[in-house]
Structures are given as C-alpha cells and as structure tokens.
Structure 1
C-alpha cells in the first residue's frame, strides 16, 4: 500500500527559556490532529528544563555526562552518555545557544517526550506521538542526520523478521528504525539555522501507540551485540584488559581461521636483525593434543621421579596443573627459531643474543593472546613444553632448531571472568 506523508513546520516558536511550556507553544504554532508525530529538537527541551550552563569547562561537562569513552582522536571524543547513547562529546553542544554557554542533553529524553505528549493531549484532546531528536554522525558515512533520543507514543522500530518479501523470501534481519526515519524526515523541515525547532509528520498513524511505550531503548544496541563498540586505540586497550589466563573452557570448538588471524598478528612483533624467529604449531585435532600431552606427562613424571626424587602423590599434584591444556579444545605451541642470529664466541654475548630472540617471541605470543581476546577467546600460556623440548619435538615431528616456548590453551571461557581491577603504572616506572 502506498502512502503520502506531510511534514509541517511549527512556526512562530519563541526563544525558549527555562520553565517554558513546550506543549502549549507547539499547539499555538500548528493545529494538530490525532495520529500526528510531533518531532522536537532536543535543544529547546534542554533549555526549557534548565540544562543550559556556562561554558567555563566544556571538557569537564563532557566528562560529567559520559560513562564510557568509545573512541578518541585528539580532542574529539565519541562517548556513551548516561542515557546510553553513543555520540560525539556526550551531546554537549555550543550551537544555537548564546556565546559563552553550552547545552546538555535532557536528563531523561523519554520522560520529556511523555510530558509533552500528555500536555498536548490535555490541551487538544488529540492522541499524538512525540519524538525528541538530536544530531548524530554515523560510522562509515559522512554528514549528520537527526535521530530519536526520546520517544512517547511511537513504535520506534518495526520488526519485519519472519515476514516475506515480494519474491517470497523470508526476512531474517530487517528491523526498521521508524523513529530515526521520522526524525531525519522532520529535520528537512526544521533545518539547523532556520529557528524552526519543531515539525510534525502527518500521514503515519499506524506508527503511534496508545501507551507511551518503552521510549528509545529498543533502538539502542546492547554492548553484547555491538561489534563496533570501540575505536581503534580503545579496542586495543580493551583487548589487553580482556586478556587473562582462563583455566576452564567450554566445549565450543575454536574456529581455525580465528587462530590464523591471531598468528598473522603475532608475526608483526618486533624481532632482532630483521629475522622472523617464530613458528606456531597448531594442534587442531584431539588425537594430536592427546598424543602430545600423554608424552609430556610421561616425561614430567620421569624427571620428577628420577631427577627430583618426588613421591607419586607430589608428582600427581604437580602434573595436575597440565589439566588446563588437556581440557582445552585447541592448543598452540609457539616455537623459537634462532635462524639469523649472530654467532658470538663468548658466552656473555651469545647469552644476550638468545635473550633478544626470546624477548621477540614473548612479544609475538602477547600479540597472539591479545588478538584472541579480541575474538572472544580465553587463553592460558603454560610453560610446560619448555621442560621437555626433546619430547615435544619428537611427538610433533619438529625440526631440531625449533624450541617450544610453552603451550597456549585456547577456547571460549566456561564462565565470564571477573572484572580485573585497574593496575596503576606508577609502581612499575622509574624516571631518570
């Protein structure tokens, strides 16, 4: 069914001051009908609600409004604000306000929309929908557009999933952001510099709801579903923070391509003499993992018994630490190769040369672990292969020059790791 929409400006709105009755001013500016959607720029709502402040410290105002930094480049910040909206500068705005002042977003845009809606119904008897809007930039797209940040009496999304298109194909992903489309359409009439902060969209009564509804919350993607929740540097810091030793894994298999992406990141680590001193052995089958771990267990038991004189109970307690490897669905064995190293005749320089290469593989493994954390995998880097290198090389049929540098268990964590407290840098810094 085709439809025709009208977008009407609400003219004659005065400069808004704190305490202004927006519902009454809107009714005076345009004769409303039931089924209209009234679209109100957030700036006048903020002014009416006393969210105007002196611009002594805009950065401090952004800090106060933000709950999470999403991305930062120079002085520009994309943040999540207290309403859950991800936007530039937490919506703190210096446009369309007197010099030396700034506007903060309404504390509760949904509540603002509900109050305006109730006031319009009180004055006119008409059932309308109300949207509060603000201007957003968008990832991957140049230019700005208005979106809904508050709503009352409007079905903000239309879920098409389960319906069929004109060719009979079932729609599986399509959810239309109706409120944002209405906000953008109304902004073509309101404009940014015309002094017309309110417009009415007429001709879409099916978008209205009798109750105020849930506001704009259905439009806000949860953090769990947001694949783009961080900027570049923030994503790196988050991945480093998420990287932790996981000792219990679920049975969910590990995607081999995720491991290969992590290895590709690992081999970008710095290394001495322009070498590539890393090799990564991927144990993708249960048979390969079991064969290696059984052989390592036998070697450990032999050494602890014959070289250290431990009794069987103590040996059992010590080797039980290897269960984290045995219970993981995937193992990676990083190996150090010294090809390209310099041959020094004295032990001091030869030892330093090996240490340089050892540091390089440590950096590579850190890249591997951080990348896997970004993919949602947990890891545990265990040193046990370093104590039975000959056994590992024999079982995995590795060249003599490959030195196993532990083993990395990989998998989905069986439980959500506890939050890690922030660790200050100062105790680890010496300045000269």
Structure 2
C-alpha cells in the first residue's frame, strides 16, 4: 500500500510532513488562506495539525499583561494542583493544563497569548475555509503542548478538532486472539497531534503539519466510487470536536489527589436527599470508614464505630422503630397529627436511601475527673473527634462518587437504636448517614465569605 493512500478500513502506513511557507501570523489573518497559499497540494482525507499559537494570534487572543499570573487567574476555573509557582488548573475551555494555557513565548514583550476562545469552532473555520478555497475535504486538529500525569516530558494533544473522529471506540470488538475489548477507546486526535509535533518543531517556524494516508479518520470524505461517508455528509457542524476528549468530572478518577484537590473534595461534599436505585458498593463504604478513622482523637483513643446497614430488613427495622419513638415523643409534646405527619416525612431521606451507616461514639479511654466541668469538657473532646471522623467519612464518600446526607435523628432515640441494632450500652449513635448514588447533580452552592467566620487577635 502506498504511504500516500488508505483503504476504507484504515492504512498500514501514513506520511506526515510540516508545511513550509507559513508567514508570521497577525490578528485578523485568514489561516485557511495562508495554508492554501503555502504551495502544498492538499488532498481529500488529509489531516491538518495546526499549532494553537497561530490560531490564537489570528483570532487576536494577544493581551497586554505585565503580570502573567494575573492572566492565568483570569483564565482559571479551578486549581487542580500547585507546587511553588507552577499551577495545574482547569481553564475556561475545560482543559486541565499548566498555567491555563497562557503563553508568554513567541509574543511581544509585555503581552501574553491566550488559547483560542473555542478551539473546535476555530478548527471548523479552517476546515470550511480550505473546502471553499481549495475544494478539498480535510480534517483539522488544533494542537497544544501538555504535560501528562505519571509521565515525564511534553507532547502535543488535540484541543480543537473538525472533521476528525477524535475517539475510536473499539469496545464490543475482539483482539487478534478473540478476546473481547471492553474498555478500549483510542484517542485518535491526540495520536495525530503527537505525530505532527515530531515534524513541526517547537522553534522552527513550522506551525502546521499534514498527515496523509489515514483518511478513515476524516469525516465527509468520498471514496473512489463517489460515495460519501455515511457518518458525515460533509457538514462539519455535526462533529463532536475535541471537547469529547475532555473527561467529565464524574468519570475522572484522578480529579482528587493533591492538597488543592482535597480542598475541592471538601467543597464538593454536599447533602444529597434523592438517590437512584443503583446499589452501593460496600467496599467503597469501607474505604470511607478507613478515611474516617484517621481523624484526630484525645488520649490516643479510637472513639469511632460505624454500624453499616447493608440489608433492607435491617434498615426497615431501625427506621420503623425510630419513627414510632419519634411519633410518641411528638404526641407527648402536644403536636397535632398533621404536624406529626409532616415532621415524620422529613425522615424519608433515610428511608429512601439504599444504604445507611450509623456512626457511634465510644468513650473507651476517656478520663474521669470527678467534677462536672472537667468531665463535661472530656466528653466534648470525644464529640469533636467524632465530628472529625464523620466529616472524613462524608468527604471520602464524595471521593467515591457517592452522595450522602448526615441526619441527627438517631441521637434522639439512642436506646431504641441500640436495642434494634443490638449495640453495646456504651455505644452512642451520633446520627445516621444516608448513602447512595445521587439522583441528580446538586445545584450551585451558595458562596460563603470565609472572612465572615474569622476573628483575628
């Protein structure tokens, strides 16, 4: 097979080269026309790999910035990790990268270069411009340089794409030995970007490369018989774009990992009151318990116990007994039956959860002083340690992608809880935690100004 050709199922060989003759790009330049004027004969099915810097320059994304850090702040949505002056952040395009993609190189002194506002739209504009100018149907990938977790060195990846199948989903197929492929999704656009980086060069003034021989990765290309690609009639507006390469927060197993990410986990810990019917992994709850028992405690004690209600029968027995005790208390308080029914309904968050945990405080190892003041302070120390353990537990559950709601109700009927669950007399139930998969994403949290909670002396 020729390195300049490919069949409909893919090619065993391809060719990649950098385009010569691309001049210095200035704001307002038409990149498609500059590429067309370079003198290279482009063909249907070629893939163009365009460095994001020239896209940013053409789109006027050069800004005055005496302080690059201020520009990074403006482009940052979330700090993922920080070490010294280096910041890994999520930027406004949804990309997680160093310095939000703000670049102070290859731009005049006193200015910085921001990433394209919408790299997928930029790729579509170049693709459509080349179709209009040269009459060719090509794929376009806008690239930028990334570092990668767990790997040394940098490589180019796709941040924008048009007319390219950015992901090749092989799940459902088999390998050469007949083994099923259940998790293989290839990041084709990133592989193309890396191939182009080998020939473009970082400082050689060759910002555009071409890959030929992989036309099966390009949408809207007609074969030799004149048949169009069924997946794309040529309207590049149907492309997913490189946005499809950005893993969602829910599916990102490495979203939480540094001190900044731990703070993010704490911020993302939310009270969830509606759950799906999806079962809860008991192992995930036990891992959260392991996090809970790392909390500080007085006198080198371990005051935490977690009773895990994994069977529906255990949950129903406890909640029915608690409901009856609560109704009896409310009737003694003279509440109306209507008021009682309304209050009891508030406990539905526990009844509707597929999993419950009851944290219990034990005072083993506590000191007795013989006077109310010091004995009261001793118990308070243990209660504070219990609260720290419960918070660890809730945050760890959030890290396991589980929703939770801490409800104080077991504290009002401890004898009932101990009896139903068969707990020792010295175990004090400290509320109950409803656990499950959230039925919907929580709404935005109301912001709180930390300074409002601070007094400095």
Q: Would you call these one fold, judging by a TM-score over 0.5?
A: yes
- Asked if 1:155 is matched to 2:165, the reply is yes
Give the match for residue 354 of structure 1: 379
The 10-residue stretch of structure 1 (399-408 or 110-119) with the greater mean CA deviation from structure 2: 110-119
**Which ranges of structure 2 fall in alignment gaps of 5 or more residues?**
1-9, 221-233
Residue deviations 1:344-364 (CA, integer Å, cap 9, x gap): 021111111111111111111
Tell me, in whole angstroms, the C-alpha distance in 2 between the residues paired with 1:127 and 1:323.
58
1:141 Cα deviation from its structure 2 partner: 1.6
What TM-score, normalized to structure 1? 0.89
Tell me, in whole angstroms, the C-alpha distance in 2 between the residues paired with 1:118 and 1:323.
56
- Asked if 1:383 is matched to 2:408, the reply is yes
Residue deviations 1:220-269 (CA, integer Å, cap 9, x gap): 33344333345534443343333333344433332211211111111111
Give the match for residue 8 of structure 1: 17
Give the match for residue 205 of structure 1: 215
Give the match for residue 104 of structure 2: 94
Correspondence for 1:252 among 274, 278, 290: 278
- Asked if 1:412 is matched to 2:437, the reply is yes
1:284 Cα deviation from its structure 2 partner: 1.6
1:21 Cα deviation from its structure 2 partner: 4.4
Give the match for residue 252 of structure 2: 226
| Contact map agreement 2:11 2:213 (CA 8 A) in 1 | no
Give the match for residue 173 of structure 1: 183
Q: 1:217-296 maps to which residues of 2 (within 5 A)?
A: 217-230=243-256, 232-296=258-322
Correspondence for 2:35 among 23, 26, 31: 26
| Contact map agreement 1:324 1:409 (CA 8 A) in 2 | yes
| Contact map agreement 2:19 2:40 (CA 8 A) in 1 | no
The 10-residue stretch of structure 1 (49-58 or 135-144) with the greater mean CA deviation from structure 2: 49-58
Tell me, in whole angstroms, the C-alpha distance in 1 between the residues paired with 2:274 and 2:164.
46
1:302 Cα deviation from its structure 2 partner: 4.7
1:147 Cα deviation from its structure 2 partner: 1.3
Residue deviations 1:341-382 (CA, integer Å, cap 9, x gap): 112021111111111111111111111122223323333323
Q: How many residues align?
A: 431
Residue deviations 1:11-32 (CA, integer Å, cap 9, x gap): 2433333344434443454422
1:314 Cα deviation from its structure 2 partner: 5.6
The 10-residue stretch of structure 1 (20-29 or 248-257) with the greater mean CA deviation from structure 2: 20-29
Residue deviations 1:67-90 (CA, integer Å, cap 9, x gap): 444444443333333333222222
Distance 1:37 1:382, change over 3 A: closer
Q: CA RMSD in A?
A: 2.7
1:98 Cα deviation from its structure 2 partner: 3.6
Give the match for residue 39 of structure 1: 49
Distance 1:406 1:220, change over 3 A: closer
Tell me, in whole angstroms, the C-alpha distance in 2 between the residues paired with 1:104 and 1:93.
7
Distance 1:290 1:122, change over 3 A: closer
Q: SS at the partner of 2:294?
A: coil
Give the match for residue 427 of structure 1: 452
Q: SS at the partner of 1:33?
A: coil
1:187 Cα deviation from its structure 2 partner: 0.7
Tell me, in whole angstroms, the C-alpha distance in 2 between the residues paired with 1:246 and 1:145.
40
Distance 1:277 1:169, change over 3 A: same
1:309 Cα deviation from its structure 2 partner: 6.0
Give the match for residue 228 of structure 2: none
1:300 Cα deviation from its structure 2 partner: 4.1
Tell me, in whole angstroms, the C-alpha distance in 2 between the residues paired with 1:140 and 1:222.
20
Give the match for residue 77 of structure 1: 87
What TM-score, normalized to structure 2? 0.84
Tell me, in whole angstroms, the C-alpha distance in 2 between the residues paired with 1:49 and 1:314.
63
| Contact map agreement 1:32 1:126 (CA 8 A) in 2 | no
Distance 1:152 1:388, change over 3 A: closer
